[in-house]
Chains A and B, each alone.
Chain A
Amino acid sequence: MRRVAIIGCGQSKHGRRTDVNQAELVAEAVWAAIEDANIGPEDIEAYAVGNMQGFGGICQPDLVFADYIAAGGKAMQRVATGGTVGGSTAHLGYYEVASGMYDVVLAVSWEKHTDSAEPGATTGLLHVAFANLSYMMKIGMDMRSFAIMGLAGAAAGISAYQAAFYMARSGCRIEHFDMVAAKARRNAAKNKYAHLKWPNCTPEDIAKTEMLIWPMRFGHVCPASDGASCVIYANEDAVRRLGVKEVAWVKGVAAYADEEADQGESYQGTAVVDYSDQTGAILSAKKAYERAGIKDPRKEIDMAEIYAPFPHQELMFSERLGFFDDGTAWKAVEEGVTEIDGDFPICPSGGVNTTNAIGSSGMQRVVEAALQIMGKAEDHQVPKDVRNAVAHAWGGQVQFNTVMVLGDRPKGW
């Protein structure tokens, strides 16, 4: 496989974007990346595009925006893997260059929640849950049970169950979730692209927010944002030919699926007993590190951007990705290890907990990890030297994971 670098990154402003339509939103990130790489659209040979189908209320926006991003006459493929889609789309773009198929490829993913009447919920999550609920009604679920199922669903769906599983497993307390959420909001205040900014936010501020369903508070929940994120990949020769100075090298990628957690398709039981197991994340990390030549992730990796819409997920995934032992991440949070100026910063951008344009979120982790390596993260640049960084994405019925290891030099240098 060929050596591949990220040569340009672009993000739209994230938040409630009533000023643009989906095509304009995607174009905003794409043109920002093209300008960042200092190349022209004619240099791009292929496009990998992706979003969470059905969440934005517009089914096939790619039919329209292809023209807005200069994809006419080029190869274009769309990816859809639920919340993981930004990670998967980033991987697709990488595969296309690493395989030797193309030299310069642009990958962009996005979400525009506000185009839907009830952001995300009606068109997105409900269409995931509706098949199961329909079966359960058919075999005699009563209205009380239906309403009870909706209690957790209305809060944050399966993530509330997962938070409870993580607590039971790790022994962490709700105060640790408050700490992680406060850190996310403080970091977001330093990131001009972020949605939920709260300078000087404290765990006590988060603890004052409404309890949706214990152990999940309103202050733990991510917003429904609009936004797009984009990276441009080039192989070694193209990096030289295009005269790009600042790059982040892709050292290893891996993606693993697992069984569905919760009752699976049409209310069947599955073998995932504990939703916080996340075997797919463990496998993805192991394989990506092996491909990147990394033996001790905690020592050799300098920071991570983890896909964590909810604070327990930052703790849980930081363990599954090998940065902390199983059930111990909350201790690292207590010690400030994961702060922006800590020994192992996690989500210095504020992460998905403060900005969640679902399709964009996985790609944004790649963008943010690359910016940290290139030293271009501006106000949320971590003070320590970043030689290797990890970008993670997660989604599906909690079972899809992607991991990308980026570095300041290619593997083996």
Chain B
Amino acid sequence: MGLIKEKFDKTMQVEGEWNIGAYRWKAPEGYLDEYVRNFKERKIIGTLCTSCGRAYVPPREICARCFTETTEKVEVSQYGEVLAFLVSPPLEKGKVVIAGIDAVQAGFLKEGERIILAMVRFEGTASSMVLPLINIEPEKVRVGMKVKAVWAEECQGKLADLVGVEPAFEVKYE
């Protein structure tokens, strides 16, 4: 019984192309623009849920726990805590290809560098963010270590102004 095929080893493949053009995603006007505009002043401004007290960074339009609009803005600390982290192997050409671009070849990432990605919670917030952790050897990173925001030399009100985080204290590792 059934339609199990034993006649062919391979199905025929017919290649076709389809230019699907652009997608359009809807987002609330302005709230992220305002978030990054404050980066110019080196400020991290999140949204506050007045019904449960959670502060969201990046800002969020609704609190999913309360199902309420988060209309209040609140400035949060530049200091945070490493909750968990990832460490890349030394980067090589041909290993990091994103959307067809070799990130090392193109100079976005340096050959041989090791990137630390930290999941950081800024003090007083109820959300975690993924940010590069810099100015520290990967071997010295610890869960729970205090970090602080690192800003670009000249902030322009862009997402890229927040370069990442670095250790908040100099710690001797015995």
A207 interface residue per 8 A CB criterion: no
A240 close to B (CB within 8 Å): no
The verdict on A215 contacting chain B, using a C-beta distance below 8 Å, is yes
Asked if A31 and B4 sit within 8 Å, CB to CB, the answer is yes
| A148, A150, A211, A216: the one within 8 Å of B132 (CB) | A148
- The answer to whether A161 has its CB under 8 Å from any CB of chain B is yes
Complex CA–CA separation, A18 to B27 (angstroms): 41
Q: Is B108 an interface residue (CB 8 A)?
A: yes
Q: Is the interface of A mostly helix, strand, loop or mixed?
A: helix
Q: Which residues of A contact B11 (CB under 8 A)?
A: 18-21
CA distance A72 to B128 in the complex (A): 49
B79 CB to nearest A CB, Å = 16
Give the residue name and chain of the A residue nearest to B98 (CB).
Answer: A150
User: With an 8 A cutoff between CB atoms, is B75 at the interface?
Assistant: no
A164 interface residue per 8 A CB criterion: yes
Most chain B CB within 10 A, of A215, A216, A259, A270, is at A270
Give Cα distance in the complex from A31 to B4, angstroms: 8
Partner of B119, one of A18, A27, A161, A266: A161
A63 at the interface (CB under 8 A from B): no
* Inter-subunit contact B58/A263 (CB<8 Å): yes
Q: Which residue in chain B gives the minimum CB-CB distance to A12?
A: B4
Q: Is the CB of A273 within 8 A of B86?
A: no
Interface string of A139-182 (1 = CB under 8 A from B): 11111111111111110000011001101100000000000000
Task: Please tell me if A262 contacts chain B, counting CB pairs below 8 Å.
Answer: yes
Listed stretches A129-137, A331-339, A341-349, A401-409; interface member: A129-137
Give Cα A35 to B1, complex, Å.
8
B149 interface contact, C-beta 8 A: no
CA distance A216 to B59 in the complex (A): 30
A45 CB within 8 Å of chain B: no
Q: Are A273 and B27 in contact (CB under 8 A)?
A: no
B126 interface contact, C-beta 8 A: yes
CA distance A251 to B9 in the complex (A): 42
**Docked-complex contact B88 and A151, CB < 8 angstroms:** yes
Q: Label chain B's interface by main secondary structure.
A: loop
Knowing A147-B98, A215-B86 are in contact, say whether A270-B60 is a contact too (CB < 8 A).
yes
A139-B33, A147-B96 known; A168 and B5 CB under 8 Å?
Answer: no
Residue from A24, A144, A152, A263 in contact with B5 in the complex, judged by beta carbons closer than 8 Å: A24
> Which residues does chain B contribute within 8 Å of A152, judged by CB atoms?
86, 117, 130
B36 within 8 A of A: yes
**A27-B3 contact, Cβ under 8 Å, with A136-B159, A139-B36, A141-B159:** yes
What 7 A-B pairs are tightest by C-beta distance, nearest first? Answer: A140-B158, A31-B2, A269-B127, A147-B103, A142-B160, A164-B84, A150-B98
Complex A-B: 23 CB contacts under 8 Å:
A19-B8, A24-B4, A24-B5, A68-B3, A134-B25, A140-B36, A143-B103, A143-B108, A144-B109, A147-B108, A148-B132, A152-B117, A164-B119, A212-B89, A216-B86, A259-B64, A259-B65, A267-B32, A269-B57, A269-B126, A272-B127, A273-B121, A274-B84
Interface set of A (CB-CB < 8 Å, partner B) = 18-21, 24, 27-28, 31-32, 34-35, 68, 130-131, 134-136, 139-154, 160-161, 164-165, 167-168, 210-216, 259, 262-264, 266-274
Binding site for A on B (CB under 8 A): 1-5, 8-11, 23, 25, 27, 32-33, 35-36, 46, 54, 56-61, 63-65, 83-89, 96-98, 103, 106, 108-109, 115, 117, 119, 121, 125-130, 132, 138, 143, 156-161
